[in-house]
């Protein structure tokens, strides 16, 4: 048996080393690097774009193109996480916690060097772990049923809720908000719409990408715009080469942490629909709890970058296993890959571990090599990429907003996606200035449907709560309790040592926090009351969320009120306190920024994206940025070219049918290049 495995391993390696296969492989790496670096795109979009080109290709070449692209996006996704504070996917939220603060401190090159190196190690170690255990993992996957899936999801929420801020209460309450948002739309049990406010847009649940970009991207862009500051708060050029080498040394110095997180990522990645959502937080928590000094986590600790980036790359191989061996895709990307398997004459299932074992091993080799090649390419470009961190805020804002808005548009090509992005952008800005953690909201939104489905199935199959006595479930409950205890002890120790980072205290605003917590109390009470009229299966999980969510929000509100009264007492009068609250929260300065975002919505409805966004870019740079007309026009034309050629021609997106579009289509002659403006 061992000889057969070794022979298949070498045969799979030999399948890759053919000139035509290598050419497609390098092309896939290049496409994946570009896709991963643009907010809102990611691996699934790259696969969808490349899939039509594989129809007439032989299987090895086709998967060299597809898998190289898919694996490379995980590596290049660190660029937006570190430089812009925007997670490339929900799986890379944990990277933002320490990567973006490092960029603010002028250590963007070090953070990127560490992220790219750990990604390469993660890809190789993850592939090796899977290659070794490939024949043995099917029983492990089959042992994870609905009860275990539910508890694993709860573990992920516990990790993010307790590790993403200085208050466990706020973290868990924010996670409850995310779970409630996940209840929007039709439940799986019955066709009864929940919390849709009578709109068709919300029937199919809240879209993840607009919410993700709104919560994370808009608040960071608002800060750059309001203060016109560079991403690097030092504003001084740094030695990029030495910073890059320092990041590589960090990864090699912490090699044991990187290897451990890679193995964890590989095996968690096997869990369909769940692994990619929680793996970053599980490994981040593993790194934090294993560190002697936890005070720098969340403020720019390089270990907070190494752990999730290693796991994010390793999970690609893990996610591929249930897709190939069981025909169970766990994400959009793996669903596309399974479709490619079937289209190319390969049948997902046990035969991939028997007759097609060399082909399966070639997939493992491809993922490992793609991680290494993408890392080498990106390390060579870090010097140029890291210069973005030194650009003035007004120069960065229009271009980033273009990619953010079009990233939000990619999911459903709906005007409502832009409304959602701006709404959650304003919500994220309020949370950021009020000291509320945002990652728990997004992770809970991702896991909400999975948790509800697993909970309902567990209750029905086991006819009650007997499933809580399953061995793996008990083990996971103990880990959750231990995580909460360790997180609480760490936060208490940090407060007692008076280590209060300046950035965190600046963002802590009792009045804004109280406003948000009171709003959550009202929201949970309203949502719970409205669910009482639904059938048991439909209202059960919303009530499980709303009741504890209300009491948690109430506890946070009481604490915020005490902090508010204490802060007001120091200032004297309410007038002075309100004035200081507005100043600390940047409420007055934020008005024009969000006014520009609403202006984009209005111009898009009137003129369409291909005219509205270039107009916004030009007006923004002229009026707020105070740049020259020549620069503003050139920048606007560049934005127009991206819209027309990248999103319009290459990606073949459907743009919003504006009033101008409808009129022009009726008056333009046949053959006119209408695609240039509508």
SS (H, E, C) 7-65: HHHHHHHHHHCCHHHHHHHHHHHHHHHHHHHCCCCHHHHHHHHHHHHHCCCCHHHHHHH
- Which runs of consecutive H residues, i.e. helices, occur in 269-356? 275-289, 303-326, 332-343
**Which residue has tokens 């966004």?**
613
In a domain, 523, yes or no: no
Handedness of CA 215, 216, 219, 225 (dihedral sign): negative
Is residue 104 assigned to a domain?
yes
Contacts of 545 (CB under 8 A, 6+ apart): 176, 179, 180, 183, 524, 527
Residue pLDDT, tens place only, 408-439? 887 678 899 999 999 999 999 999 888 898 88
Q: Verify that 502 and 626 share a domain, yes or no.
A: no
Residue 403 to residues 220, 259, 413, 469, 620, Cα–Cα distance (Å): 14, 34, 14, 48, 16
Domain final position from 508, 525, 551: 508
Phi, psi torsion values for 141, nearest 5 degrees = -65, -45
Residue 116 maps to a domain = yes
User: Both ends of the chain: CA-CA distance in Å?
Assistant: 61
Long-range interactions of 530-537: CB distance < 8 A, separation 24+ = 530/195, 531/194, 534/192, 534/194, 535/189, 535/190, 535/192, 537/187, 537/189, 537/190, 537/456
Query: 614 and 504 in one domain?
Result: no
Q: Do both 481 and 624 map to the same domain?
A: no
Q: Which string of DSSP letters, residue by residue, matches 266-294?
A: HHHTTSTTTHHHHHHHHHHHHHHHT-S--
Residue 533 falls inside a structural domain: no
Residues 501 and 611 in one domain: no
Query: Per-residue DSSP letters for 506-520?
Result: HH--HHHHHHHHHHH
119, 313 Cβ separation under 8 angstroms: yes
The residue among 140, 410, 361 whose CA lies nearest residue 272 is 140
* Structure confidence by residue, pLDDT tens digits, 186-217: 887 778 889 988 888 888 888 888 888 888 88
Q: Indicate the pTM of the whole model.
A: 0.81
Judge whether 581 lies within some domain.
Answer: no
Residue 404 lies in a domain: no
pLDDT for the residue 135: 62
* Geometric angle at alpha carbon 241, from 235 and 242, rounded to 5°: 85
Structure-block tokens of residue 239: 């030695």
Q: What pLDDT score was predicted for residue 619?
A: 94
> What is the pLDDT at residue 506?
37
**Residue 245 lies inside a defined structural domain of this protein:** yes
Query: Residue 234: helix, strand or coil by DSSP?
Result: coil
Give the model's pLDDT for residue 502: 38
Phi and psi at 194, nearest 5°, equal -120, 130
CA distance 123 to 140: 21
What domain range includes position 640?
A: 604-676
Q: Which of 508, 533, 565 is the endpoint of a domain?
A: 508
For the chain, which residues score pLDDT lower than 70? 1-6, 9, 40-44, 89-91, 130, 133-143, 162-166, 232-239, 272-276, 326-332, 349-355, 411, 490-508
**Could you give the number of structural domains in the chain?**
2
Residue 390 forms part of a structural domain: yes
- 414 DSSP 8-state letter: -
Same domain, 504 and 624: no
Decide which of 445, 474, 508 is a domain's last residue: 508
Is 66 in the same domain as 179? yes
Report pLDDT for 149.
81
Residues 497 and 616 in one domain: no
């Amino acid at each position: 048996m061992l000889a057969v495995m070794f022979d298949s391993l070498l045969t799979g390696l030999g399948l890759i080393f053919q000139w035509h296969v290598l050419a497609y492989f390098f092309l896939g790496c290049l496409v994946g690097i570009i896709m991963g670096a643009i907010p809102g795109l990611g691996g699934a979009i790259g696969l969808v774009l490349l899939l039509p080109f594989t129809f007439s290709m032989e299987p090895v070449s086709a998967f060299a193109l597809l898998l190289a692209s898919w694996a490379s996006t995980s590596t290049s996704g660190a660029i937006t996480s570190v430089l812009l504070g925007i997670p490339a996917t929900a799986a890379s939220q944990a990277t933002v916690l320490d990567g973006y603060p490092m960029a603010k401190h002028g250590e963007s090159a070090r953070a990127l060097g560490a992220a790219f190196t750990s990604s390469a190690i993660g890809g190789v170690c993850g592939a090796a772990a899977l290659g070794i255990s490939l024949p043995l993992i099917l029983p492990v996957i089959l042992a994870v049923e609905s009860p275990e899936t539910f508890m694993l999801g709860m573990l992920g929420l516990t990790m993010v809720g307790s590790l993403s801020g200085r208050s466990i209460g706020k973290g868990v309450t924010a996670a409850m908000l995310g779970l409630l948002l996940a209840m929007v739309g039709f439940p799986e049990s019955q066709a009864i719409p929940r919390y849709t406010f009578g709109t068709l847009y919300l029937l199919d649940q809240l879209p993840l990408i607009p919410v993700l970009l709104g919560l994370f991207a808009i608040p960071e862009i608002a800060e750059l715009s309001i203060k016109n500051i560079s991403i690097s708060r030092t504003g001084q050029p740094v030695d990029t080469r030495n910073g890059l080498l320092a990041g590589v040394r960090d990864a090699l110095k912490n090699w044991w942490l990187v290897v451990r997180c890679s193995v964890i990522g590989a095996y968690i990645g096997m869990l369909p629909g769940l692994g990619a959502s929680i793996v970053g937080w599980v490994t981040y928590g593993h790194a934090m709890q294993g560190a002697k000094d936890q005070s720098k986590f969340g403020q720019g600790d390089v270990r907070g970058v190494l752990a999730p980036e290693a796991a994010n790359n390793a999970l690609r191989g893990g996610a591929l296993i249930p897709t190939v061996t069981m025909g169970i895709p766990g994400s959009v990307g793996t669903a596309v890959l399974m479709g490619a398997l079937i289209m190319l004459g390969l049948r997902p299932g046990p035969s991939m571990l028997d007759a097609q074992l060399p082909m399966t091993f070639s997939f493992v080799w491809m993922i490992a090599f793609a991680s290494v090649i993408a890392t080498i390419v990106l390390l060579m470009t870090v010097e140029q990429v890291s210069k973005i961190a030194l650009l003035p805020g007004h120069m960065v804002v229009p271009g980033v907003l273009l990619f953010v808005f079009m990233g939000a548009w990619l999911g459903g090509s709906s005007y409502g996606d832009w409304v959602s992005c701006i709404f959650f952008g304003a919500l994220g800005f309020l949370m950021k200035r009020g000291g509320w953690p945002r990652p728990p909201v997004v992770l809970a939104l991702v896991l909400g449907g999975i948790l509800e489905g697993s909970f309902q199935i567990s209750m029905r199959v086991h006819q009650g709560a007997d499933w809580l006595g399953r061995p793996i479930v008990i083990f996971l409950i103990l880990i959750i309790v231990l995580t909460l205890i360790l997180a609480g002890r760490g936060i208490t120790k940090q407060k007692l040592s008076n280590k209060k980072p300046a950035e965190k205290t600046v963002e802590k605003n009792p009045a804004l926090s109280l406003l948000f917590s009171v709003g959550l109390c009202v929201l949970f009470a309203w949502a719970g009351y409205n669910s009482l009229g639904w059938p048991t299966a439909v209202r059960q999980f919303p009530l499980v969320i709303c009741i504890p969510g209300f009491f948690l929000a109430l506890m946070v509100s009481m604490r915020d009120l005490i902090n508010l009264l204490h802060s007001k007492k120091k200032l004297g009068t309410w007038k002075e306190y309100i004035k200081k609250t507005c100043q600390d929260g940047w409420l007055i300065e934020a008005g024009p920024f969000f006014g520009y975002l609403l202006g984009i919505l209005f111009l898009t409805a009137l003129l369409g994206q291909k005219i509205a966004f270039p107009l916004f870019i030009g007006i923004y740079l002229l009026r707020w940025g105070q740049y020259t007309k020549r620069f503003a026009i050139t920048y606007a034309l560049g934005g127009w070219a991206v819209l027309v050629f990248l999103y319009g021609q290459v990606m073949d997106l459907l743009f919003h049918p504006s009033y101008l579009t409808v009129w022009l289509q009726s008056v333009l002659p046949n053959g006119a290049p209408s695609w240039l403006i509508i």
